[in-house]
Amino acid sequence: MEQNFLSFPTPAPCKQPFLLAVRAVHYPDMDLKSRDLMGAKNRSTKSPVSSIVYLRFRTNPDRLPVGASPSREGFSAMKKMLSAIVIFFLLLIPAAGDASFLIRLKNGGQLATPMYWIEGRLIFFYYAGGIAGIERIVVDRVERSEKKPADYMDTTSENRGKKELPPLSSITEKAQGPEKTTEIKEEGAEKVNIEAYKNKKDQMTVILDGLLEKQREAAARGDNDAKEKAREEMVKASKEIYKLTDEVTEKNKGKLPEGWWAR
């Protein structure tokens, strides 16, 4: 039997090649199955190599008497080396949490998310600790990004002067005290209450998240009617969000306010 081994270049202190994988080619003579593989002759290249090379080993028919068993110690060492190789290559794989996607909108906006998926006419994605959904018709394209979603969030915060959006619970608290609004004054244009628009958009997004959860529960139960009803409500809620987005964009001289999609 002929064995082909995939090996890294042998380090200077080592005398044996570092095993990566093995491929067996059987000879017609079935008696050669019991030959000692670990005692085979090394017929590898003698010149230095800078990449992975193949080392070929051939069993020696005269090495062992007929009926002798192969070395268990050799095969045990082979298994240990293969386990080490698997762990080594797993460490080379980048973490899935580092990957992100950039959703480019047709109105010029963009959204960074670690994961997205498509359900019918809607695109759902993780955003700001929750789940958001938008219609596919308003999306220009989805790009893979080397940055993490947190990097985009930090940049948005700096552009807004490190001013974070207040949580939804603060809406009721503001009713008891003086309300501070962010207004954009433009020549020949009406004043735009950006913060009020954002609060309304956030409330609608929370409703959309609840509808998505209802749809998933209905799908888990196998209730197709409830699932379809939830999907229709999600489409309606998504349209309302983008109707509001178009309205604030139009009043803001055709520009989407910075940090509009942040929550």
Average pLDDT, the chain: 63
Ranges 11-15, 220-224, 242-246: which has the least confidence: 11-15
Domains of the chain (ranges, CATH numbers): 2-92 (no CATH), 97-251 (2.30.30.100)
Sign of CA dihedral 17, 19, 21, 26: positive
User: Nearest CA to 163 among 207, 208, 194?
Assistant: 194
- If one compares 166 and 228, the residue with the highest pLDDT of the two is 228
* pLDDT for the residue 59: 40
> For 116, phi and psi rounded to 5 degrees?
-140, 160
- The residue assigned the tokens 């604030």 is 248
Q: What single-letter amino acid sits at 81?
A: M
Determine what percent of the chain is predicted with pLDDT higher than 90: 0
The yes-or-no verdict on residue 207 having pLDDT over 60 is yes
pLDDT (tens digit per residue) in 110-165: 888 888 888 888 888 877 667 878 888 888 998 887 766 555 554 443 444 444 44
The yes-or-no verdict on residue 77 having pLDDT over 70 is no
pLDDT (tens digit per residue) in 153-192: 544 434 444 444 444 444 444 444 444 444 444 444 457 7
- If one compares 11 and 145, the residue with the highest pLDDT of the two is 145
